[in-house]
Structure 1
Amino acid sequence: MFEVVINEEKKKQLSVSKSTCNLNQRQSIIIPNLIRKRLNIHSGDEVTVSLSEKTNGLVIRKSFGDTLENKMIIGQRGSIRIPSELMRVLRLEVGDIFDIHSPDNDSFIFLEKIN
Structure 2
Amino acid sequence: MKIAEIDTDDLPIWMCAVVDTVSENCKKRLKTSPQYSRIVEESDKLLFQYPFISTLIDRDKIETPMNLTLEQTKALSRFLALDADREDYERIQLYLMGCQHTIEVLQLLELL
Q: TM-score, length-normalised on structure 2?
A: 0.21
Q: Which has the larger radius of gyration?
A: 2
Higher strand share: 1
Higher helix share: 2
